[in-house]
Amino acid sequence: MKPFLFILVLLISHGLPAQLRTVYLIGDGGKFDPVLHTHLKGELSSESELKTVVFLGDNVYSSGYKSDKKSDIKLNQQLDLISGDFQGRGFLIPGNHDWTNSRWLGYKRIINQGEKAGKDHFAPLAATPGPVAEDIQVSSSKRIKLIMIDSQWLLQSKTSKVGTTNGVDRDEEAAKFWYDLSQHLSQAARNRQMVILAAHHPLQSTGGHGRKKWYRYPMYLLTPLYLFGGYSVYGLTSQDIPHPRYLDFKKKLQASIRDYYLADHPHGAVIYAAGHQHNLQYWQEGNIHYLVSGSASKQDAHMDKVANRYRSEQVQLLYPTNEILPAGGKIKHPLQGYMKVEFYETEYQIKILQKTPENNVIQVFENTIVY
């Protein structure tokens, strides 16, 4: 037998690793790049029953779903990928633009978007924070727990209208959210399940949402804006990580992961997937993988000085690499892209894909982790 044929037969007889499930993490698709959309349409057309898609918020730029023709076009670009012949599961979670950045029409537009997308696709429903949990079957012996939350609900100012469950007040709903999240994480730990926690807002960033914006301070100090809860004396909006309300959300979320999941399942893994910052980032802290996939429509620069704020928290930045983002440097994020996680029997692979200037979509990063 010829050597090439012998090797081919050997590979077939032993079996190549079978890809069992793929989860696509696509953020900020409210004005979807057409090249990326066409690529994903083809990617999701085969074996779609083995695929789960999560859109990570800001599904309709820039003021949420207005129930008009322009809003329909923007939202339908995403719904088109998870309907029709698509046999897998597809979800949209809200972002700050879907809430119109806490403005008074935000509640109504979240309700409208949920009604348009439908209860099988929009999570959480009824302008509530969630969490919404879904088990994803990888194999006969392995399941992943997908937990979806509305992080913007938790960052809204007290003057913004939000939905609650069974008429409870806002504080009770927030307490219920953190309790329910702890229960989902504890259940996943007991069942030895890996967790994908999907939200809109990242916990680390290499971009503008990660830095203190001192240049805004004089303007806000001379206006009453910060008194209404949307701004701090640092000139930050609640959409920036250093804002006190955002830091409180981050602290509570990380504590929940550590106390209710990793404490009982130290060898487990959590992927926290978010959008918001319009670039692609991959951070890792032990068994927690922080993914930022927010460039389905737009691009933000990477800044090494901003990244250093979060490196000091003992979180390692895996992408962009040091070669791409040199010390003290700043680079424009290349083009639109997304992330996906491919699951196999004994390992999973986190992959980053980007559009090129030649309008191709290529893989630019991969990390393989053994269960």
**125 within domain boundaries:** yes
Angle at 172 between CA 166 and CA 176, to 5 degrees: 85
Q: Round to whole Å and give the CA distance between 11 and 312.
A: 45
Residue 269 lies in a domain: yes
Residue 8 counted as domain residue? no
- Tell me what pLDDT residue 166 has: 87
Whose tokens are 């994903």? That residue is 40
Does residue 7 lie within any of the structural domains? no
The total domain count for the chain is 1
The dihedral formed by the CA atoms of 111, 115, 119 and 125, expressed in degrees to the nearest 10? 0
Q: What is the pLDDT of residue 15?
A: 53
Domain with 203, as residue range(s), is 18-370
Give me the pLDDT at residue 334, please.
76
> Both ends of the chain: CA-CA distance in Å?
37
CATH number, domain of 324, equals: 3.60.21.10
Residue 109 is predicted with a pLDDT of 96
State the Cα–Cα distance between residues 220 and 237, nearest whole angstrom: 10
Three-class HEC string of the chain: CCHHHHHHHHHHHHCCCCCCEEEEEECCCCCCCHHHHHHHHHHCCCCHHHEEEEECCCCCCCCCCCCCHHHHHHHHHHHHHHCCCCCCEEEECCCCCCCHHHCCCHHHHHHHHHHHHCCCCECCCCCCCCCEEEEEEEECCEEEEEEECCHHHHHCCCCCCCCCCCCCCHHHHHHHHHHHHHHHHHHHHHCCCEEEEECCCCCCCCCHHHCCCHHHHHHHHCCCHHHHCCECCCCCECCCCCCHHHHHHHHHHHHHHHHHHHCCCCCCCEEEEECCCCCEEEEEECCEEEEEECCCCCCCCEEHHHHHHHHCCCCEEEECCCCCCCCCCEECCCCCEEEEEEECCCEEEEEEEEECCCCCEEEEEEEEEEC
- Residue 10 placed within a domain: no
pLDDT (0 to 100) of residue 7: 40
- Of the candidates 25, 20, 56, the one whose C-alpha atom is nearest the C-alpha of residue 352 is 25
Say if 160 falls within a structural domain: yes
Indicate whether 6 belongs to any domain. Answer: no
State residue 8's pLDDT score. Answer: 41
213, 240 contact by CB (below 8 A): yes
pLDDT score for 163: 94
**pLDDT, tens digit only, all 371 positions of the chain:** 454 444 444 434 445 578 899 999 999 999 999 999 999 999 999 888 999 999 999 999 989 999 999 999 999 999 999 999 999 999 999 999 999 987 778 999 999 999 999 999 999 999 999 999 999 999 988 999 999 999 999 999 887 899 999 889 999 999 999 999 999 999 999 999 999 999 999 999 999 998 765 544 454 445 554 444 444 444 468 899 999 999 999 999 999 999 999 999 999 999 999 999 999 999 999 999 999 999 999 999 999 989 998 988 889 999 999 888 888 888 887 789 999 999 999 999 999 999 999 999 999 999 999 98
